[in-house]
A and B are shown apart, each in its own frame.
Chain A
Amino acid sequence: MRIETIRAAGDKPAHIRHDDLISAKGVSVVIARQLILRNIDLSVPKGSFVSLIGPSGCGKSTLLKVLAGLVQPTQGSVSIAGLAPVEAARKRMIGLVFQDANLLPWKNAVDNASMLLGIADKSLSRSDLRARGQEMLELVGLGDSAHKRPHELSGGMRQRVAIARALALDPAVLLMDEPFGALDAITRDSMGQSLLEIWQRTGKTIVLVTHSIDEAIHLSRHVHVLGIKPGRITESLDIALPYPRDLSVTEDPEFVRLVVQLRTMLRFSHQPGGAS
């Protein structure tokens, strides 16, 4: 696959600032001779909340994996605070949350919350880990469920433990791949609201991959729309709604206007743009 030829197609590169925690430049990913992502320029300012939204197959999850260092870009580079993603992950700068909480069924909530930290930092004692796990569970609103096993928790609570597990690393950035995708609408709303509160209390930088227009606008400061075939950033949208936001923001006329705008952008993103 020759990327140079395809790269010539006109995707406008985003403006890259110096205070960006994450910056991806010209990232293309080819997997099994398929161009998954083409020439992605993405910058995420420190402390920001950025959402990636797009139709299925647009490569938004792959982009998140590239940021996490789990997928190597075929071309281009990613830096997280000046480090390659794999390096950043080793230094516990990246917290990951997936759609499936992936808790260990043989460990209770507090041990699940501190599990990754225990692997990342072998110097911590069992009681240090417990204390940290408990602190994180309290942060996500599960302080009194520390001794419950995953099967005793609801889907939303399990996902809260997964968020606590990522936060226990005290990462600079939280990368979340459709973390609420498997939850019902009401749980989803309250999880989003909790995530906003956690974000504001901890000052983490968050990159969220989502399918939900409402979720993207409700939570984030910037939304990037990805198009398909190949996956590329087609539009970027700043969400000027003031923080702190709660669910009442969804009744704001500006919110409604943004929903319409984003929906229109998404409709266009469904059109293949290989040769534009």
Chain B
Amino acid sequence: MSDQPITDLSEPRLASSWSAATGSWLPAVILLLVTIVLWEAAVRIFAISAFIVPAPSEIAKSLVAQWGTLMQATLVTAGEILFGFLVSVVVGIAIALVIVRFDWLGRALYPLVVLFQNVPKVALAPIFILWFGYGLAPKIGLILVIAFFPVTLSMLAGMQSVDRSLLSLMNSVGASPTQILFRIRVPHSLPNLMAGTKIAATLSVIGAIVGEFAGASDGLGYVIQFASTQLDTALVFAALLLVSVLGIAFYYAAEILERIVVPWAPKFSQS
């Protein structure tokens, strides 16, 4: 490569940007592969029982063998996550709007919302089962109490960080509080809100699985519990793998949404 005469200056730059792109992924991929190989080797060398730690090959086999069941369960869990996530975002936004728009109500509501954050919400799962039964409702409820808070908090932070002199400008021409809310505060809060939404997407996955643990007849959480009682650890890991894939998928969906909703956000406009 070095013996080539430098005629086209754009080529080295292309090459370096390509290596930068792969360079950011490559170390993680290599580490993952090495871990899988070491894992497989360790299980075989030390003859670890498959119901304690299954080898990656066993997990893959289980994944293929139970593909139909797993896909059905994934679909159920994905539905819970999506529905619960959307409800969390809507409720989270509504609470934030009420807090900002109605000062008195906000001062009453905000401390209670923060206080509620200290309740270990996972512990609410059995109560939700008691109240709402074994269907979709308790999962949505659990996702909601776990995931609405980052949405509310991030949107509040965004709405309250509007520059004072901008508010002075609005006030000077007689803008109403509602106009300031919807023309300035809400759009101003969108970059923050989208960051909160990404956290909510991740928490929604946790909420759905916990909800299924507490009581369900379907879904990946149910598969994990059922398989562990059967000592089918390979199936537990296969279901876990799918949960992780779901989590990553929802996270990136939220990230794509962010690019669509706030293309003008500072993080996108600097480059």
Contacts and interface: CB of A to CB of B under 8 A. Distances in A.
Asked if A and B bind, the verdict is yes
Contact of A105 (B169, B179, B183, B264): B264
A46 to B, nearest CB: 20
Contacts of A65: 168
A70 B171 contact: yes
B269 A151 contact: yes
Helix, strand, loop or mixed for chain B's interface? helix
Interface in B240-271: 262, 264-266, 269-270
Given A102-B163, A104-B184, A116 B173 contact: yes
Interface string A101-133: 010111000000001100110000000000000
Nearest to B165: A98
Given A102-B165, A104-B187, A106-B187, A94 B264 contact: no
B172 interface: yes
Nearest to B168: A70
A118 to B, nearest CB: 9
A73 interface: no
B170 interface: yes
Interface string A139-160: 0000000000101000000000
Most chain A CB within 10 A, of B166, B173, B262, B265, is at B173
A77 B190 CA distance: 41
B174 interface: yes
Nearest to A92: B173
Interface string B176-213: 00010001100110100000000000000000000000
Given A100-B165, A119-B183, A106 B173 contact: no
A62 to B, nearest CB: 13
A68 B169 CA distance: 10
B42 interface: no
B173 A119 contact: yes
Contacts of B184: 104
A96 interface: yes
A106 B264 contact: yes
Contacts of B179: 119
Contacts, number: 56
B34 interface: no
A58 interface: no
Contacts of A116: 169-170, 173
B264 A89 contact: no
Contact of A102 (B169, B172, B187, B265): B169
B179 to A, nearest CB: 6
Contacts of A151: 264, 266, 269-270
A201 B166 CA distance: 27
A100 B163 contact: yes
B169 A96 contact: yes
B187 A89 contact: no
Interface string B76-105: 000000000000000000000000000000
Interface of B: 163, 165-166, 168-175, 179, 183-184, 187-188, 190, 262, 264-266, 269-270
14 contacts: A70-B171, A89-B174, A96-B168, A96-B172, A104-B184, A105-B266, A106-B187, A106-B262, A115-B183, A116-B173, A151-B266, A151-B269, A151-B270, A169-B173
Given A98-B169, A106-B187, A116-B173, 15 more contacts: A65-B168, A68-B168, A89-B172, A89-B174, A96-B172, A98-B165, A98-B168, A104-B184, A104-B188, A105-B266, A106-B190, A106-B264, A119-B183, A151-B270, A169-B173
